[in-house]
A and B are shown apart, each in its own frame.
Chain A
Amino acid sequence: MDDIILEARHINKYFHDPVDVKVLSDINFSINKGEFVTVTGKSGCGKSTMLYILSTMDTDYEGALFIDHVPMANKPEPELARVRNEKIGFVFQFHYLLSEFSVLHNVMLPGLKLAKYPAQEIEKHAMERLNMLDIGRLAYKKANQLSGGEKQRVAIARALINDPCIIMADEPTGNLDKKNSEIVFDIFRQLAGERKQTLLIVTHDQEFAARTDRIIKMEDGRIIK
C-alpha cells in the first residue's frame, strides 16, 4: 500500500453556469507507483474535468485529493504551483510550447523554476530527454518551427524534466495523425516499461488503452470500471 502516488476520495464537482450541473460524482480511485493507467469514456463524461482536478489546477471541488500522500486540500496557490512543478508532468492535446523560446529552453523552463540543479545540469538533463525522444537535433530550433508530432514530443520531454511522480495527459494524440499518434503511444509505453514512470492518460483510442495496465472507464461523471 505504501507505493500509492495519487489518491482521489469522494470527489464531486459541480458547474454552476448556466444551471447547477453535477459533472463528477463520488470519484474514488488510487494509482500506484509505476502504474500505467488510461481513462476512457464518451465525450462530455467529465474526463478532462477530473484531470484538471487531479493536476491541482482546478481547486473548486468537494472531496479529498492526495498526491504522494500529501493532502491537497486548503493548500495556498503558490504551494499547489510547487506541487505541479515538482511532482506532476502535464501533456495537453494542444502542445502549448512557448514560441519565444528555443526547444531546449522550453524543456528547461520547469527545471529552472524548480531550481534543484544549476542551469548547466538542467540543460544536460533536457538534452538527455530530447535525445531519448529522438528529437535532440531540434534542440536549438524555435518552438514554432516544429511539426505537430515533434511539438508533442517536446511537450513530453518538458513534462519529464523534473522527474515527476506522475505524468498526466489529456488526449495527447487527439490532434495528431495516425503515424505520430503511434510514435507518442510508443514513447508512453517505453516510459512505463523502461523508466517505471507512473502515467495517467485520457484517450479515446481503445486499441491503445487495451495495452495498458489498467483502464478507468467513465460515464456521466462516474467511474464505472
Chain B
Amino acid sequence: MKLIFSIARALLLARWRQTLVAAIGVAFSITMFVSLLGFMSGLNEMMDALFLNRTPHIRLYNEIKPAAVQPILMSPVYRSGYHFIHSIKATGSRQGIYNGMAILDALRRDDRVTGISSRIVMQAFFNEGTVDITATVNGIEERKETALFHFEDYIVAGDALMLEKMPNSIILGKVLAEDLLVHVGETVQLTTAEGERFPLKVVAIWQSGIRDFDKVQSFTSLGTAQKLLGKTANYITDIQLKIKDITAAPAMAREYNHLFRVSAQDVQTLNAEFETGSFIRSLISYAVGITLLTVSGFGIYNILNMLIYEKMDTIAILKASGFAGRDVRRIFISIAMSIGIAGGVTGLMAGFLFSLGIDQLPFRTTSLPTIKTYPVSYDPFIYFIGGIFSLASTYLAGWQPSRKASRIDPVVIIRGK
C-alpha cells in the first residue's frame, strides 16, 4: 500500500497545479457548505428560541365548551334510542382548573416533567381617561416563567422581579404602555370583568416583538391576579409544562387529558408549520452544498481523466512489469481521495473561520432582544456531514476514471507507439 501511495504522490506532484485547483474547488464547496449550513442551523436554532423556548411543551387548561356527556345520557331510563338535543350551551361558569393543586402535586411526582409553572389568564379593561382598552392579564410565577420560558429576556425596561416583591404591581406590553401613556413607576387603573377597579403600579415593560401581543398582554403575580378576581390562593387557569422528551408531548397531552379531565395542548400541534420551515431551510442548505460538491467533483473527474490520458505509458509499463488492474485503480483512487481529504480538511477549517466571521456581524431585531449578531451554529454534526460529503463526492468522481485506468490494455498502448 505504501508503494501505491508513493506512485500516487509522484503522479500528483507531476501535475500539482491542476491538482491544487481541484483541491481548491473541493475546499471552496466544503467551506460554503459548512458555513451555509451553520448559518441556516443557527437561524433554525434562533427560531426555536423564538417559539419553542417561550412555548410550554404541554399546556393544561379548562376549555369552555359544551359537556361531551350530557345529563340525559346518564339516566338509565333514556339509555336506548338516539338523542336529539337542541341549543346546548356551555356552562362556562368555571375557568379555573378543578382540583388544580392536586394536579400540580401529581405532575411534580411525574419524572418525565422537568418544569411546571401555573398561570391565571383573565380579561380586563385598562382605563385611560374616558377610553377603556381591553387587555389580557396573566397572573404568573415570575421566577419560574423566567427559568422555563425566558420571561426576563423580553423585559425592555424596569425590573421583572418587583412583580413578586411589590403587591399590586403589573408589567405592561410595550405597545399597551404606549397606548396608555404610562412609564415604569407610574400607576394604571384596571377594571375587572366583574366591574371592580384596582390601581396597579407599572414595574416593567415587556416586549415580545410581535406587535399584536405587545398591544394586549400584561403580567401580574399569581397572588395579585387571584385578588383581582376575588379568588382563593388555589385558583389557577393554566398549567404550563416543560418535559424531558419533546417528541412525547402529544402522547403525554392525551394522557393528561384523560387523567385530569382537562384540555391539554401539546407543542407539536402548535408548531407543525414552524417545523416545516426549519426543514425547508435545512433542505435548501443541503441542496446548495451538494450542488457545489457535484461541481467540484467534476473538477476532480477532469483532472483524473487528464492524468490518465497523459500517463497511459506509465500505466502500461506498470501493468507490464507486474502491477494488476486493481493496483492501478487504487493508485488513481488514492489520487482522488488525497485531493478530497486535503480539500475537505481545508474546507472545514475555512468554513469554521467563515462561520466565526458571520458570527461577528451585527444583527439586531426587535423581536429578539437577546440576539446581537447573526446566529451561527457550530454543531459538530455539520462538520461531520461536510467531511463525509467531501470524501463521498471525491470517491464518486474518482471511481469511473480509476476504473478506466485499471482497464487499460498495455498491449494496445505499447503497440500504439
Contact = CB atoms under 8 A, between A and B. Distances in A.
B87 to A, nearest CB: 89
Contact of A90 (B10, B321, B415): B321
Nearest to B321: A110
Contact of A78 (B3, B10, B326): B326
A170 B317 CA distance: 14
Nearest to A53: B411
Contact of A113 (B3, B13, B313): B3
Contacts of A94: 414, 417
Contact of A85 (B7, B322, B326, B409): B322
Contacts of A57: 319-320, 409-411
A55 B318 CA distance: 14
Interface string B313-335: 11011111111111100000000
B46 interface: no
A94 to B, nearest CB: 5
A93 B410 contact: no
A11 B89 CA distance: 104
Interface in A75-127: 77-78, 81-82, 84-86, 90, 92-94, 96-101, 109-110, 112-115
A175 to B, nearest CB: 9
A58 interface: yes
Interface of B is mostly: helix
Contact of A52 (B324, B326, B411): B411
Nearest to A100: B10
B14 interface: yes
A158 B320 contact: no
A86 B7 CA distance: 20
A55 B320 contact: yes
B316 to A, nearest CB: 7
Contacts of B7: 109
A113 B325 contact: no
B323 A81 contact: yes
B11 interface: yes
Given A98-B317, A100-B13, A114 B325 contact: no
Interface string B4-28: 0001001101100000000000000
A55 B323 CA distance: 14
A96 B325 contact: no
B415 A48 contact: yes
Contacts of A93: 417
Interface size band for A: 20 to 34
Contacts of A113: 3, 321-323, 327
Interface residues of B, number: 26
Nearest to A48: B415
A81 B415 contact: no
Interface in B149-167: none
A85 B321 CA distance: 5
A54 to B, nearest CB: 12
A97 B409 CA distance: 18
A25 to B, nearest CB: 19
Interface in B373-417: 409-411, 414-415, 417
Contacts of A98: 10, 314, 317-318
Contacts of A115: 3
A158 B10 CA distance: 18
Contact of A158 (B313, B319, B321): B321
Interface in B317-358: 317-327
B322 A114 contact: yes
21 contacts: A48-B415, A57-B319, A57-B320, A57-B410, A57-B411, A77-B325, A78-B324, A81-B322, A84-B320, A90-B320, A92-B417, A96-B316, A96-B317, A96-B320, A97-B317, A98-B314, A99-B14, A100-B10, A100-B314, A109-B7, A112-B3
Interface of A: 48, 52, 55, 57-58, 77-78, 81-82, 84-86, 90, 92-94, 96-101, 109-110, 112-115, 158
Given A52-B414, A77-B325, A97-B317, 8 more contacts: A57-B409, A58-B411, A96-B313, A96-B317, A100-B11, A100-B314, A113-B3, A113-B327
**Which 10 A-B pairs have CB atoms at the shortest separation, nearest pair first?**
A85-B322, A81-B324, A78-B324, A100-B10, A96-B317, A110-B321, A84-B322, A52-B411, A112-B3, A100-B14
